[in-house]
Structure 1
């Protein structure tokens, strides 16, 4: 079935409405160290799949040449900001859409610079699949993989944020210091495999390594030619994406759409987010939490197409009958019958990754789904035995790097979360200062209207 045949459309008053599409939708985040070639690869995919025409490419080629950045023209497709194009650094998460006969995809092009990790987390929190982009160029892989490089931090964050399926594309294989050398590819695979296995990735089922040349488009759509690289017999990048099996979406669950952004369109409030569970329908009554604003869905759009309803996994623009003043990133759109109750306190399991000492009273910034809020550790309930996963009997006064603790977290302001076992996408969190301190999951919640104890 072709991409066109997969869509059943109706035209009403000149507006095309996507009624049904049985192809699964995947959100794919491109992560990795700065200058690995993420934006160029994303732009190349859009060009190869026909989402960007030749005239637009020629325009970007001219712009890049005027800035003495000839090799950046494909990155201009994703890096729309003038500052991003001048400096060659992605700042905001770029978003774009492409399709194959098998699936529909949203690309989330995350920034690689360590100064923009919060933006990377925002993009990765919406993703189903991670594409970790590695530069094979001599010295560039090492710079990203050494301590302090973003390859390690991005991979750690991806796993924490629930991205269990990872494709590692080893880019720039055509570079003069590499020349499609199997030895260089194998060394990178060996080093990364050890690290990723330590993070908990299933290396046999959920991780694959693919050599590519992003700038020239080699092994992105069409399989790699034996004349170029005789030793690689695997899939191209798009083939690998198309072969990923269906995900277990919570279509029958309560509606949960964490809000990533908002804007006004002809006076109508529009919120952007990913449907994490449940379905949302045009005309539906919904409530925005935690501020309990009840409103109605005026219309829905997926990838600029007006649709009647959306299922889990879809990135959606939701047009609402309400003012935008009380809507912020991190709020959650819910169904009125079973909203996500706001909390200001929860019990969580927390893995300390990089902190010499952490004790009750510790404060920092927490990223949980699309919310970013200040918090305080109220009490440390117990340390967890790394081998058994069970609480240790000794009383705990502090924790340090590599410790796993169960603690009571107090938020500065009310937020909406879910227990990890109920909805993992809204039950994972990351703690950051100027670097990632640790990662965790929500075990028990304390809604503002009730209470919990550490024994519940």
Structure 2
């Protein structure tokens, strides 16, 4: 049974029966019944006499346990009780109580009958209990012993005591000095020895004078010996002792002559780095020459192969060489570094002889959330460009933020902002290879706010993949949005080959009727409105999330027996480059970055015209900076040359400042640079109403503000000639009409544009027209 249950069963009445307030009389001690107490009382009475009451003697005997001798000794030291008169105080009808009338007593007399004060001396003991906290000292209060003085406090006390012991001497010295100052002619009547004593009496810790001569020391010792005061009062000077010069106040009051002034140390004896080999004249500038860092940097550069005029052979010639190098450094710029030796290759011949795979770029376009990035991520995953471990990592990270279906899209969308919002913002690039071709993916953003980035990707593409969301409602909204706009833009940028990927068919159970509906409507729009030829348009049903018809045929879509998306990519031929190979070098810059310490400045882009090799002189437009090519990488592989149509990274020399080059600039050959245009004539196809207005021109990465200053004519789209009727000098260009207009760029110096360049005009976030440059003024 548990203890608390046992306690509950107790009968308190039975347990407390003996504690009802009645005390057993047998428990009371009676000293008269104790024979030993009676015997001890009789002996103590005989020893003490009749001055004490029996009760007091019995209490004392009980305290000492019947020790008669100690009781007697103690009682002899105690004054007998005083029998005080009693007065009565009436308290109602209950009777009278007797209280003693206590006379005036001292404090000692008040406590004289306390039993604890009657302890014999031989039985007393002192119990020392240490306090919990120290008393006195630094914690405040008082302490039994004064706190221990520190060394500094002891030194101050000793000095104070020494000063108090000899006050008369100090007063006499002060009076003597005052009298000397009062009765002096020019120096207070003080002799040279007195002045020396005064100066020697006050010394300051100045810098040790290493150049103090022996004669000065001997004269000071002689002055001390000849002094009238006792020797112990004069401080003896040690050799090379630090002595300060007299202050201005002391010199004025004592009238010290110039011979007594302290001589400063001779700085010429110190071998300072800025005085070596030069005179310390009044107008000399120690910082006029090259700094030691410049001299060392130049010397290190000379050791690596930089030219130097002379070589050091002796110590004297070495200093002369350093001065020569420092002078050359101020005259020599960084741009004088030696360029690499050119191999003088025939680039076109090397390109024709090379057995390299053909290179092809394609841009992925379509409405936002159509699944463009997911489709390309699945393509790279199926081709083993991305391993399973990376995909699993993306799946875990996407699941943490509640977007597990975006794992494949993260293969291309690497930016944190893109992953957070689930949309592509800038062009995402990646590459893969097949047996015949090296493909470069240009994943364009689908949101309407990032159409300029999509145009930049379309400007580098050979063909395009248009991704359409086949789910219910998504296709219709995309056709009214960026699906239509992107198709027209890529065609305006010169893209002729188009692959239409009907994505997310698994969302509609691979419905063939839905697929046929989409293909019929899109084929009619692309051939009539966008201008594509029917033979250059291909359709493929697929699912980017599950991988159906991407690299392998789908098992769920049994009604489709055509090629997969990868088969259509391999069948697409890149644009002919023969004409571009023979032209001057033109490389629109898409990225500017630093590759490594060896290549501090690199630019990336696709060469649109010409060829380039290592050590070729180049110039940036519009910056106008000239330099040379230090290295070339084609598709991230080092190469000695590159031609039009290839994705190239050019490593530039340090002559070009990275701050003066940006995306949209053009890298050209130094002999044939591109011209800057302020005003040019453009043939365009209008999507909105066009009139003299403000707009912006988009050419690749270049986005500049401009104005449509004049409408020259309306053109016949079939023939390209001026249309009859209102064709000349129209006031407005209607949508879906072709026209010739004059554009003025609001950029100082103009923009790098040539004849035949494809341009997009945008205003208020909408594409209003596209076209080509017909003539540049």
Task: Quickly name the TM-score band, shorter chain normalised.
Answer: 0.7 to 0.9
Query: Which residue does the alignment assign to 1:302?
Result: 634
Contact 1:417/1:427, CA 8 A, preserved across alignment: no
How does the TM-score come out when normalised to structure 2?
Answer: 0.52
How does the TM-score come out when normalised to structure 1?
Answer: 0.87
Query: Which residue does the alignment assign to 2:615?
Result: 283
Deviations 1:270-313 (A, max 9, x none): 11111111112122111111232221111122333222222222
Query: Partners in 1 of 2:560 and 2:677 — Cα distance?
Result: 51
Contact 2:491/2:532, CA 8 A, preserved across alignment: no
Contact 2:585/2:612, CA 8 A, preserved across alignment: yes
Alignment partner of 1:346 out of 680, 705, 723: 680
For residues 195-274 of structure 1, the aligned pairs below 5 Å read 195-222=525-552, 224-225=553-554, 227-249=555-577, 250-266=580-596, 268-274=600-606
Q: Does 1:140 align with 2:478?
A: no
Query: Which residue does the alignment assign to 1:89?
Result: 423
Query: Partners in 1 of 2:388 and 2:355 — Cα distance?
Result: 28
Query: Partners in 1 of 2:660 and 2:473 — Cα distance?
Result: 48
CA distance 1:21–1:269, change in 2 (3 Å): farther
Q: Does 1:431 align with 2:765?
A: no
Query: Which residue does the alignment assign to 2:752?
Result: 416
Question: Relative CO higher for 1 or 2, CA cutoff 8 Å, sep ≥ 6?
Answer: 1
Contact 2:760/2:767, CA 8 A, preserved across alignment: no
Query: Which residue does the alignment assign to 2:772?
Result: 441
Query: Greater helix share, 1 or 2?
Result: 2
Contact 1:275/1:313, CA 8 A, preserved across alignment: yes
For residues 189-200 of structure 1, the aligned pairs below 5 Å read 189-200=519-530
Query: Greater strand share, 1 or 2?
Result: 1
Contact 1:418/1:427, CA 8 A, preserved across alignment: no
Alignment partner of 1:316 out of 638, 648, 655: 648
CA distance 1:252–1:386, change in 2 (3 Å): closer
Query: Partners in 2 of 1:246 and 1:129 — Cα distance?
Result: 7
Q: Does 1:169 align with 2:501?
A: yes
Query: Which residue does the alignment assign to 2:710?
Result: 379
Q: Does 1:129 align with 2:463?
A: yes
Query: Partners in 2 of 1:256 and 1:432 — Cα distance?
Result: 28
Query: Which residue does the alignment assign to 1:326?
Result: 660
Indicate the RMSD between aligned Cα atoms, in angstroms: 1.8
Query: Partners in 2 of 1:63 and 1:138 — Cα distance?
Result: 29
Query: Which residue does the alignment assign to 1:453?
Result: none
For residues 8-157 of structure 1, the aligned pairs below 5 Å read 22-146=356-480, 149-157=481-489
Query: Partners in 2 of 1:122 and 1:264 — Cα distance?
Result: 22
Contact 2:677/2:753, CA 8 A, preserved across alignment: yes
Greater radius of gyration (CA): 2
Contact 1:262/1:272, CA 8 A, preserved across alignment: yes
Query: Partners in 1 of 2:705 and 2:759 — Cα distance?
Result: 16
Query: Which residue does the alignment assign to 1:11?
Result: none
Query: Partners in 1 of 2:370 and 2:478 — Cα distance?
Result: 9
**Structure 1 position 61, deviation (Å):** 1.1
Contact 1:26/1:103, CA 8 A, preserved across alignment: yes
Contact 2:631/2:640, CA 8 A, preserved across alignment: yes
Deviations 1:127-152 (A, max 9, x none): 11110001111111111012xx1101
Query: Partners in 1 of 2:761 and 2:551 — Cα distance?
Result: 34
Q: Does 1:186 align with 2:516?
A: yes
Query: Partners in 1 of 2:697 and 2:355 — Cα distance?
Result: 37
Query: Partners in 2 of 1:395 and 1:266 — Cα distance?
Result: 56
Contact 1:366/1:373, CA 8 A, preserved across alignment: yes
Contact 1:365/1:433, CA 8 A, preserved across alignment: no
Contact 1:160/1:430, CA 8 A, preserved across alignment: no
SS at match of 1:400: coil
**Structure 1 position 439, deviation (Å):** 0.9
Contact 1:369/1:429, CA 8 A, preserved across alignment: no
CA distance 1:52–1:233, change in 2 (3 Å): same
Query: Partners in 2 of 1:280 and 1:429 — Cα distance?
Result: 28
Structure 2: state its 5+ residue gaps: 1-350
SS at match of 2:590: strand
Query: Partners in 1 of 2:435 and 2:642 — Cα distance?
Result: 20
Query: Partners in 2 of 1:159 and 1:289 — Cα distance?
Result: 27
Query: Which residue does the alignment assign to 2:701?
Result: 370
